[in-house]
Chain A
Amino acid sequence: MTSILPLTEPAIAARAATDSDDTSAHPGAPRRTARGSRARRVRYALTVLVFLLPSAIPLTLFVLTPMVSAAWISLHDWNLLSPMTFVGLDNFAGLITDPDTARVFGNTVYYIVGYLPLVYIGGLALALALNRAMRGRNLLRGIYFLPVVTSWIVVAIVWRWLLAPENGVVNGVLGFFGIDGPGWWTDPSWSMPSIILASAWKDLGFVMVILLAGLQSINTDLYDAAKVDGAGPWRRLISVTLPMLSPSTFFVVVISLINGFQVFDQVYAMTGGGPAGSSQVVVGEIYDLTFRYGSAGEASALSWMLFVVILAATVVQVIGQKRWVHYA
């Protein structure tokens, strides 16, 4: 194992350098010395702009600007049709004291906590299994990707059928083993687990594809070195594959958190938030507020509350990554 360690330590050092914003630490940046002339600095700044503007312009115009507008709307009482009335922070105050807000946030967090480990471990197992040379590998990869491209409308119909309480397939199998299956999506305490199961199943292929791409960028020399050191398959997984896959894992975790907090389609298609609001999530509430109750101000306020929560969760991830994500 010893020959692996010297490889990871410089990697950590290189990473520490990458994440600081101090330009002087980088070979690619112009040095702030007498020789780093003004013209050179201007040229470097122009280079940065050329690389950033193609994305910065559309993101500013079509995402950031509407985000600011939404913040402005959140301070108003507005049904989308009549003129807006300024109400200050009333929408926020109303939402914070409303027990429904805590409930929908609770359901959303419940979803993430159940979904994320399932989909990551499942997707990792799939990626590892389908990364080895085997006959029919491409066909299998395609098959595991099928649910990702199948619409939620179809997936929801099939999963409701699979999880039907009386004559569903899942309860049939459980019954075979003498287990009395629950009411799944018809039972308030099982509606979230039903959605979690269907979502993890559908997104396995998504995680698989990202991790497969990550596996391809692992330097195969590392495996040879580990083999020379007598590392078995399990040891190679723990000491080479997982650390080298950590940038992809980080991506999957951050994206799944951001998307998980905005879970909606599957809830809408599978339970509509029911029974008895037991599976209502934040974006479901936002959707209802906007399009059902015509309360755009409250919907915008709730969105901004959600934004703050997602931002906080992401910041924790970004700070935490320094402990476990290794870049080349």
Chain B
Amino acid sequence: MREVSTRSRAPRILIAGVLVVGGLAMMFPFVWTVVTSLTPGANLGSPIRLWPENPSLGAYEILFTERPFARVVMNSLMLAAITTIVQLFTSATAAYAFSRLPFRGRGIVFAVYLATMMIPLQVLIVPLFAQLRTFGLLNTYLGALLPTFATAFGIFLLRQAINQVPRELDEAATLDGAGHFRIFATIILPNIKPALATLTIFAFMGSWNSFLWPLIVLRDPNLQTLPIALSGLQGQYTTAWDVVMAGSVISVLPMLAIYLFAQKYIIQGVASSGIK
């Protein structure tokens, strides 16, 4: 017994060591961002330091007093929250159809869904802009939101997950008299929690980081989102890198919070509890 445990401990410690060293490397750009944000008059040309010279929170103060960052963060949070909730709904329903509701031409419809990911946004933006102008949706939150309501990414992600749920579970529920809506709500959704949590992270992130579309639709400064306000800082304060980096830190923190929250649901083998 003892021999076995010492033999398996060595590789385990090695893996842990590699993970920690790798982790430090992964953290490095973020740490540097924080350090730069705390360094008044930071200069990107100077060598990278891991401790700020004369640390100060001045950059953060500038963001929230001289610039409308509180408002900007609220705008971004609201848009990201709505996008995430709507996308979870549209993705789960469509994924259920593509996994569990066969119909003639389903393969083709799914291919068309996937095809919506294959044209670069840089080109769609011109006609989309004209379209929203005719609907009178420029400079409205709704205009920024509508194109984000459904994504093939989310549908595809959840379809893969639903395909993994054993069909025996549906069949058992059908025998109990459950229809598709009941199966969807009581069998499928609880069994794809890890995928739903994953989609929550990516839907939120997609909205939170999106740049080009909000830049074009939301011209009113009151409606501005975080990435656009950040790029605005770079224009106006060409040398104030501490302010830009403070903005970057603020932009990373909510994402990290969402990740840590959603991660709790990316656990445990759900499928194993379903079938014997």
Contact = CB atoms under 8 A, between A and B. Distances in A.
A, B: real partners: yes
Interface of A: 14, 18-19, 21-23, 25-29, 44-45, 47-48, 50-52, 54-59, 61-67, 69-70, 73, 80, 129-130, 134, 138, 140-151, 153-155, 157-159, 161, 201, 204-205, 209-210, 212-214, 216-221, 247-248, 250-251, 254-255, 258, 261-262, 264, 283, 286-287, 290-291, 296, 299-300, 303-304, 306-307, 310-311, 314-315, 318, 327-328
When A and B form their complex, which 4 residue pairs have the shortest distance between CB atoms, in order from nearest? A69-B127, A213-B194, A62-B147, A55-B94
Contact of A213 (B123, B152, B197): B197
B138 to A, nearest CB: 14
A73 B120 contact: no
A186 B230 CA distance: 27
Given A51-B101, A64-B116, A59 B180 contact: no
Contacts of B125: 66
A162 B60 CA distance: 27
B19 A51 contact: no
Contacts of A299: 122-123
Nearest to B254: A149
Nearest to A213: B194
13 contacts: A23-B104, A28-B174, A54-B93, A56-B150, A144-B23, A148-B205, A149-B255, A150-B252, A151-B230, A158-B32, A286-B120, A286-B122, A328-B167
Contacts of B130: 69
A43 B17 CA distance: 58
A216 B114 contact: no
Q: Range of interface residues on chain B?
A: 35 or more
Given A54-B89, A149-B255, A158-B32, A217 B161 contact: yes
Contacts of B224: none
- A-side binding surface: helix, strand, loop or mixed? helix
Given A67-B116, A218-B271, A147 B29 contact: yes
Q: In terms of DSSP, what is the predominant structure of the interface of chain B?
A: helix
A296 B160 CA distance: 37
Given A54-B89, A59-B116, A154 B29 contact: yes
B150 A54 contact: yes
A51 B270 contact: no
Contacts of A59: 113, 116, 150, 152
Contacts of B48: 158, 161
Given A58-B150, A63-B124, A143-B26, A48 B101 contact: yes
Nearest to A28: B100
B269 A216 contact: yes
A306 B166 CA distance: 37
A18 B164 CA distance: 12
B270 A149 contact: no
Nearest to A143: B23
